[in-house]
């Protein structure tokens, strides 16, 4: 029964993890706005979320664990992990600068704010879900 609880929360947990990761990438872009030759990075939120959901459903729904007999064998990815293998893309610069830096401060700040709002929305929904689960667990009165 507890894995059902986990499953009901794992979607928002994954989304929150990826929002968090994106927040870090955007913060690094803003921090490096004056670094020569720095190329602004970002990743596709949707693709990353699809990947995380796919990983968690194959790991939890797969049933049997993978047997490993040698140190070099790779196990399945941990459920719902936002792997270190996120593919970071480079942003297309609309106004390239002479020093090779492609950070456009307006774009980065808008994306940062947008991501922060989504993060908050995600937290709110997750919080509400926890609340409703909790009220369902209250004893009968």
Partner 1 sequence: MSITSLFNTASSALTAQSQRMNVAASNLANADSVAGPDGEPYRAKQVMFQVDAAPGANVGGVKVGDVVESDAPFREEYNPGHAMADDRGYVRMPNVNPTDEMINMISSSRSYQANIEVLNTGKELALRTLTLGE
- Residues forming the site for partner 1 (CB under 8 A): 16, 20-21, 23-25, 27-36, 38, 41, 88, 105, 109, 112-113, 116, 119-120, 123, 126-127, 130-131, 134
Q: How many helices (H) and strands (E) does the chain have?
A: 3, 2
Which of 49/126 has CB closer to partner 1?
A: 126
Which of 39/57 has CB closer to partner 1?
A: 39
Which of 9/57 has CB closer to partner 1?
A: 9
Give the dihedral sign, CA 39/44/49/54.
negative
Distance of CA 43 to the CA centre of its chain: 10
C-alpha pair distances (Å), 52 with each of 33, 109, 126, 138: 30, 26, 17, 32
- As measured in angstroms, the least distance from the Cβ of 64 to partner 1 is 32
- As measured in angstroms, the least distance from the Cβ of 37 to partner 1 is 9
The span from the CA of 119 to the CA of 7, in Å, is 20
The span from the CA of 52 to the CA of 58, in Å, is 10
- As measured in angstroms, the least distance from the Cβ of 124 to partner 1 is 9
Which of 66/88 has CB closer to partner 1?
A: 88
- As measured in angstroms, the least distance from the Cβ of 43 to partner 1 is 10
């Amino acid at each position: 029964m507890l894995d059902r609880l986990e499953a009901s929360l794992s979607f928002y947990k994954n989304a929150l993890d990826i929002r968090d990761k994106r927040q870090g990438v955007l913060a690094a872009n803003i921090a490096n706005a004056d670094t020569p030759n720095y190329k602004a990075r970002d990743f596709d939120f949707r693709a990353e979320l699809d990947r995380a959901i796919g990983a968690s459903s194959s790991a939890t729904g797969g049933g049997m664990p993978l047997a490993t007999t040698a140190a070099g064998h790779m196990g399945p990815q941990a459920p719902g992990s936002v792997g270190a293998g996120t593919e970071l893309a480079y942003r297309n610069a609309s106004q390239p600068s002479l020093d090779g830096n492609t950070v456009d401060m307006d774009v980065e700040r808008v994306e940062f704010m947008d991501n922060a709002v989504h993060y908050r929305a995600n937290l709110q929904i997750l919080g509400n879900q926890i609340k409703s689960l909790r009220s369902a667990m209250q004893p009968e009165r």
